[in-house]
Chain A
Amino acid sequence: MEPEYKSKYNAHLIKVILVLIVLGAGVIAAQALFIPSDFGEYGHYRTGAVEDERNRLVRNQTNESCLKCHPYIKKIHLGGVHKTVSCEFCHGPNADHAVDGKKIADMPVKRGEDIKALCLRCHNKIIRARPEESIKMIAMPQHLEEKRVQTTHICNQCHHVHAPMKWVIEAKRAHGLIKEEEKLFPWMN
């Protein structure tokens, strides 16, 4: 009787061990299959992921890269108080316009009320919470009334969008309100 029991006990043990071995092999195989080879090289992540993030497409360029192909606008834009305003803020990202220095599509150019909306994003006086000394603030219908023009006027009828004071100063010079060499504001154009 004794040996029979013993052999049966062994058989159970062998079965359990076999199952464990198969499970272990399965886990190792699954790990090899699902965990990328570069995982855990520097930490609990895939090293290739850093490379992936690094190779993401740069869609916004700098003003420099825009103005390289637009010398006329460059002269006006950099001469005015709006020189710190990004081209892409109003016109959209460079990647939708040029690839490797070649034009692929036209940039959207804002017109009419859209221009007014863009101007007022920064210059609207009724939106409090803006540092006063930073930029010029205007209240919208009041500014037009003050300047004695129709209240339907769009900002770019008096202001060049790239150099806001350009035409104003030119007009004042033409009318002799300011002298030819005199600058109205040294920092303005």
Chain B
Amino acid sequence: MDELKLSEIKEEIQKDRRAFIKNVLGGTIAGSLFLVIPAGAMEFPQQIPGMKDEKGTFITQKKFAFIVDITRCIGCGSCCVADKNEYKVPDGNYRTWVERYIIDDHDNVFVDAPNGGLDGYTEPREDVTNPVRDTFFVPKLCNMCEKPSCVQVCPVGATYQTEDGFVLIDDKRCVACSYCVQACPYSVRFINPVTKTADKCTWCYHRVRKGLLPACVNVCPVQARKFGDLNDKKSEVYDIMRQPHVISVLKHGMGNKPSLHYLGLRREVV
């Protein structure tokens, strides 16, 4: 790659020395102006390194993974609020939500998610009579399966998997037949009552393409949600996936091969 560039530069110099110097000077002046003039609001901070170079239809150099750290989540619902704000999700529908698990010493499991965790958890659970053994929060979102069953059942090609692994919805083609809503083993899909099409979490594809982290990852105050590139050896997700943590996916037996991984997931959830 470098050799190619070097040879190209040499060729340019050979062609026209004067023009080359002009170009270089022009470039440096323009570059320094870039530093002086503050970048506009449309200039996004690059939270995911290297996304500026991804200009094609699909992302080619990266393999994204989403990790949710159960041991860190405090159930504040920041992620749900950010998600609702980002997409103006109609009330009563959730692209992401947070479930509360309470397990007592008789192994009874109590799960609830009032308003999807959007208003946070304000009340303790009253119906747990035995001493509590284990409690934790489980944030849920699209699992971005490698073998998505929702795509398989879509009769009009409105749900599709891009070549970079994102499962997205074309709301101009969707006829809201709800096949995908039923096919999804993780129940992340719903029919949006405003657009009258199927809707679900997209891992904020529009933000990721601009180099921003997904809205929920960006707002999490305790870094319970992590998003990154597995091809980047310096990324946190790469680090986590290589270490001997307890990492699992939901409903492994369904064979959908989710790209969403959970850290410290209890067997009661799987």
Which residues of A does B touch, CB under 8 Å?
Answer: 39-40, 42-47, 49-60, 62, 64-65, 68, 82, 84-86, 88-89, 92-93, 98-102, 117, 120-122, 124, 126-131, 134-135
Contact = CB atoms under 8 A, between A and B. Distances in A.
Contact of B172 (A47, A52, A117, A122): A52
The 10 closest A-B pairs by CB, nearest first: A45-B160, A121-B120, A49-B170, A129-B135, A86-B219, A56-B206, A93-B85, A101-B41, A44-B157, A122-B76
B205 A53 contact: yes
- Tell me if B's interface is mostly helix, strand, loop or mixed: loop
Interface residues of B, number: 61
Interface stretch (B67-75, B179-187, B235-243): B67-75
Contacts of B20: none
Contacts of A50: 57-58, 162, 168
B85 to A, nearest CB: 4
A128 B78 contact: no
B40 A88 contact: no
B149 interface: no
A61 B51 CA distance: 17
Contacts of B228: none
A44 B219 contact: no
A120 to B, nearest CB: 7
Interface string B37-63: 010111011010000000001100000
Contacts, number: 151
A88 B219 contact: yes
Contact of B170 (A45, A57, A92, A126): A45
Given A47-B57, A121-B120, A86 B218 contact: yes
Given A44-B160, A89-B82, A100-B42, A127 B75 contact: yes
20 contacts: A43-B161, A47-B57, A49-B160, A49-B173, A50-B57, A51-B57, A52-B170, A53-B168, A56-B206, A60-B207, A65-B41, A86-B78, A89-B81, A93-B86, A100-B42, A121-B120, A122-B76, A127-B122, A130-B74, A134-B74
B86 A60 contact: yes
Contacts of B78: 85-86, 89
Contacts of A130: 74-75, 135, 137
Given A45-B157, A129-B102, A62 B45 contact: yes
Contacts of B100: 127, 129
Nearest to A95: B85
A128 B74 CA distance: 9
Contact of A62 (B121, B162, B212): B212
B217 to A, nearest CB: 11
